[in-house]
Amino acid sequence: MTTMTIPGRPVVGSPGFEEFVAARSARLLRTAYLLTRDHGLAEDLLQTALTKAYLVWGRIEGDPEPYVRRIAVNTYASWWRRKWNDEHPTDRLPDTGHHDERVGESGDLWDALGRLPRRQRAVVVLRFFEDLTEAQTADLLGISTGTVKSQTSKALAKLRIDSSLVGEEGTR
Amino acid sequence: MNTLQDLRATLDQHAAGVSDDLAIARVGAVTGRARVVRRRRAAGVGTAAVVALVTAAALSALPGNRDVAPARAPDSLTSLGWTYRLADTLRTGDDRVREELERSELPRLVSWSTTGDDQQVVVRFNGETWTSELADFGDFVWVPPNFGGEMTISGAAGLTMATYELDESVIPPGVGSGAATFREDVAGRELVGAAVGDLGQAELIVPVDAERGTLWLAHTCEGMPSRGYEVRIGVVGESGFFSSGDSCTSGSGFDPGGRPNLGTPGPWGPGASLRITVTRGGQVVPEGTLSDLRLGLAAYASSADLVVAAGHDFPRVIEHAGKVWQLDHVAEGAGAQLPRVTVPDDGQYVVANWVVASPQTPYVLSVDGSTEDQVWVSGIGASGSGARPVGPGQDLGLEIRGDEEDITQAALVLYQRVD
């Protein structure tokens, strides 16, 4: 950790921001990890979202967490991959499309989640990890509830999950 | 067919595995990024106004009047193949800046820029003094893992200090995982065998291409308790071992290949393997006993890259303080003719020394007539000090505090930065 203790240095912290980061960022980091599946990228995504929020901190009304989550998810879903795809080395071969997109009976759900398109993965994380309703998910992603339903349905099909079950617990 | 319960459980399970180790540092990192964004925005807003002033500015910006805005800190810097991301910047406008670095498990770089004509700065940290003329983020001081303390940069006007933190997601080519990766190339030595064990694994066998003579070994034993246990390294099929120790000095486990310090006698021919074990009471610890233990071993080939001075092998190329250094000058002496050397005015240099003398003979390194801390020759009759920074034009010498006849050989070796 780096701290500056130079006398006279301007105070740059916004009231409440540090407390928010301390109290809430662990949960946001987990969401970022489920989206990026990489600890370093998750931290970078979270810091990117927090930086954007920090710059307008005084103008955020109410609970900042949904705002930060919205930034993180949309950053991930839009330019995240474009920004990092060519820069981030990996010890795994990239997905090349030869996988069976549907996970097998004994298939690993985590691997299958990793093969979902970004938008579908975001919908799954928001709906089934964050427990957001379809309406909340739609609002957060800036898409219609119909799109949330269709993206969810496609994602669950690829994960070999009976989508009829979603209606029972998932249309909140 | 999976169920939604399976899906939720999978998400929860992987989310639970995320440890928020950087929580404390996150605010600093975020505010640092915010400052960068604000500076960029300010630069953009100011463009139109700047255009109107270009003519007047051009008239006043005569050579020798380098009164310009500070250079923008790059988003990342690299050191020995590792990438460090900008975490914070501090612009003072003064000719002196002081920062209190708190201890961190991961390494950092501190860089700087100036706005004045004189770009020479002096950086003091951790008892060392570095001199640099590479301003505007062209140079850095490496802060090792688990280190903190006060750093001061002084000399040139308009100082801006930038702190960079290790980006663990960008790993140099090698063997291992994350920051605990044995790099493929360390100071020109090639990785010829390496392995990193699973957590709790107390024995590793590492096949090596050992036909090229002496190998340099590096190991990590992160998580081994500090008392009662011992690490042993030897050749499979041969009795005994040529290295043992009861401590793991690798700290955070960062860059374990960066400290290869054991030259082995090899070659052993094709099919040779090395073995590293953790023992207790002479017996290999059963697997899983030490659940936090992570063993790793790497062998690097050296191809005639040594220079002998005062009977000691000095590598032609070394890594030190996050930089690469090449042997530039060797001064040898004995008895009343102890070695002296003057540091060249160009470039950055570090000096190493080696003294062969009667055990417990005291000696010191002098710099421009001032002496450093006294050192005593070890019980085996030889001692040396590793690289330490020296400044341009400094006169260096070894001074004995005992009888001159006690010294049989001594060497001062200068290395110049080459990366």
Tell me the per-residue pLDDT of B82-112, one tens digit each, with 9 for 90 and over.
999 998 888 777 788 888 888 888 899 999 9
Tell whether ipTM is more than 0.85.
no
Nearest Cα residue in chain B from A23: B23
- Across the interface, whether the CB atoms of A21 and B1 are under 8 A apart is answered no
What one-letter code names the amino acid at B297? L
pLDDT at A168: 46
- Across the interface, whether the CB atoms of B169 and A166 are under 8 A apart is answered no
Q: Is residue B88 located within the same domain as residue B41? A: yes
Proportion of chain A in helix, strand, coil states, percent, rounded to 5: 60, 0, 40
All residues of chain A having their beta carbon less than 8 Å from the beta carbon of residue B10 are 109-110, 113
Q: What is the mean pLDDT of residues B318-338?
A: 89
Cis peptide before B267 (omega within 30 of 0): yes
Is pLDDT at A26 greater than 80 in this prediction? Answer: yes
For B264, list phi and psi in degrees, rounded to 5: -100, 160
Nearest Cα residue in chain A from B147: A1
Q: How far apart are CA B337 and CA B356, in angstroms?
A: 14
pLDDT at B206: 92
Name the residue with higher pLDDT: A163 or B184.
B184
Asked which of A9-23, A52-66, B320-334, B337-351 is least confident by mean pLDDT, the reply is: A9-23
Last residue of a domain, one of B278, B302, B326: B302
All residues of chain B having their beta carbon less than 8 Å from the beta carbon of residue A3 are 28, 100-102
- Our CA-based measurement puts residue A140 at a distance from the nearest CA of chain B, in whole angstroms, of 20
Q: Is residue B185 located within the same domain as residue B287? A: yes
Asked which of A75-84, B2-11, B147-156 is least confident by mean pLDDT, the reply is: A75-84
CATH of residue B42: 2.60.120.10
pLDDT at B152: 92
Count the neighbouring beta carbons within 10 Å of the beta carbon of residue B294: 23
Interhelix angle B4-16/A118-128, rounded to 10 degrees, is 90
Q: Is residue B258 located within the same domain as residue B207? A: yes
Residue B6 maps to a domain: no
Write out pLDDT tens, residues B267-295. Answer: 566 778 889 999 888 888 888 888 888 88
Q: What is the pTM of this model?
A: 0.58
Residue B125 maps to a domain: yes
Residue pair B293/B226 in contact (Cβ under 8 Å)? The answer is no
Q: How far apart are CA A132 and CA A123, in angstroms?
A: 9
Containing B171, the helix (H) or strand (E) segment is none
pLDDT at B372: 72
Q: Where residue B182 falls among pLDDT bands split at 50, 70, 90?
A: very high
Name the residue with higher pLDDT: B248 or B181.
B181
Write out pLDDT tens, residues B123-161. Answer: 999 888 899 988 788 899 999 888 888 899 998 878 889
Nearest Cα residue in chain A from B167: A40
Name the residue with higher pLDDT: B315 or B378.
B315
All residues of chain A having their beta carbon less than 8 Å from the beta carbon of residue B171 are 89
Q: Where residue A10 falls among pLDDT bands split at 50, 70, 90?
A: very low
- Across the interface, whether the CB atoms of A47 and B29 are under 8 A apart is answered yes
Q: What percent of chain A has pLDDT over 70?
A: 67
Residue pair B111/B162 in contact (Cβ under 8 Å)? The answer is yes
pLDDT at B376: 78
Residue pair B348/B414 in contact (Cβ under 8 Å)? The answer is no
Q: How many residues are there in chain A?
A: 172
What's the Cα-to-Cα distance from B189 to each of A88, A127, A158, B296, B337, rounded to whole Å? 26, 51, 48, 18, 34
Q: What is the mean pLDDT of residues A15-26?
A: 82
Containing B232, the helix (H) or strand (E) segment is strand B230-235
Last residue of a domain, one of B279, B302, B325: B302
Residue B247 maps to a domain: yes
pLDDT at B112: 92
Q: Is residue B293 located within the same domain as residue B193? A: yes
Q: Is residue B281 located within the same domain as residue B312? A: no
Residue B137 maps to a domain: yes
Name the residue with higher pLDDT: B71 or B218.
B218
Last residue of a domain, one of B302, B333, B350: B302
Q: Where residue A31 falls among pLDDT bands split at 50, 70, 90?
A: very high
- Across the interface, whether the CB atoms of A55 and B20 are under 8 A apart is answered no
pLDDT at B73: 86
Q: Is residue B249 located within the same domain as residue B219? A: yes
Looking at the 3D structure of chain B, how many domains does it have?
3
User: What three-state secondary structure class fits B331?
Assistant: strand
How many CA atoms does the CB half-sphere of B8 hold within 13 Å?
11
For B275, list phi and psi in degrees, rounded to 5: -135, 130
Residue pair B386/B293 in contact (Cβ under 8 Å)? The answer is no
Residue B31 maps to a domain: no
- Across the interface, whether the CB atoms of A2 and B87 are under 8 A apart is answered yes
Q: Is residue B194 located within the same domain as residue B147? A: no
Q: What is the mean pLDDT of residues B106-124?
A: 86
Residue B375 maps to a domain: yes
Count the neighbouring beta carbons within 10 Å of the beta carbon of residue B271: 11
Q: Is residue B153 located within the same domain as residue B107? A: yes
Q: Is residue B140 located within the same domain as residue B189? A: no
Residue B44 maps to a domain: yes
Residue B5 maps to a domain: no
Closest CA to B407 of B329, B311, B306: B311
Q: Is residue B64 located within the same domain as residue B149? A: yes
pLDDT at B24: 67
Asked which of A22-26, B115-119, B178-182, B349-353 is least confident by mean pLDDT, the reply is: B115-119
What is the per-residue burial (b if ≥16 Cβ within 10 Å, else e) of A52-66? bbbbebeebeeebbe
Alpha-helical (H) ranges within B245-311 are none
Residues 6+ apart with CB under 8 A from B184: B172, B173, B174, B190, B191
Residue pair A47/A80 in contact (Cβ under 8 Å)? The answer is no
Q: Is residue B394 located within the same domain as residue B336? A: yes
Write out pLDDT tens, residues B374-417. Answer: 777 777 777 788 788 999 899 999 888 776 666 778 999 999 99
- Our CA-based measurement puts residue B160 at a distance from the nearest CA of chain A, in whole angstroms, of 13
pLDDT at B51: 32
User: What three-state secondary structure class fits B387?
Assistant: strand
Is pLDDT at A115 greater than 60 in this prediction? Answer: yes
Name the residue with higher pLDDT: B52 or B145.
B145
- Across the interface, whether the CB atoms of B10 and A110 are under 8 A apart is answered yes
Q: Could you tell me the two tokens for B172?
A: 């140099």
Name the residue with higher pLDDT: B237 or B109.
B109
Q: What percent of chain B has pLDDT over 70?
A: 80
| Domain housing B287 | 172-302
Q: Where residue B321 falls among pLDDT bands split at 50, 70, 90?
A: very high
Q: Could you tell me the two tokens for B95?
A: 């000719």
Q: Is residue B316 located within the same domain as residue B297? A: no
Q: How far apart are CA B363 and CA B340, in angstroms?
A: 14
pLDDT at B404: 63
pLDDT at A92: 30
> What's the angle, vertex CA B162, arms to CA B345 and CA A6, rounded to 5?
105
Q: Where residue B42 falls among pLDDT bands split at 50, 70, 90?
A: low
Judged by phi (left if over 0) then psi (alpha if -120 to 50, else beta), residue A171 lies in: alpha
User: What three-state secondary structure class fits A41?
Assistant: helix
Q: How far apart are CA B414 and CA B314, in angstroms?
A: 10
What's the Cα-to-Cα distance from A134 to each of A65, A140, A156, B11, rounded to whole Å? 18, 10, 14, 18
Q: Could you tell me the two tokens for B286?
A: 């059963």
Count the neighbouring beta carbons within 10 Å of the beta carbon of residue B279: 18
Write out pLDDT tens, residues A133-168. Answer: 999 898 888 778 888 898 899 899 888 876 555 544
CATH of residue B182: 2.60.120
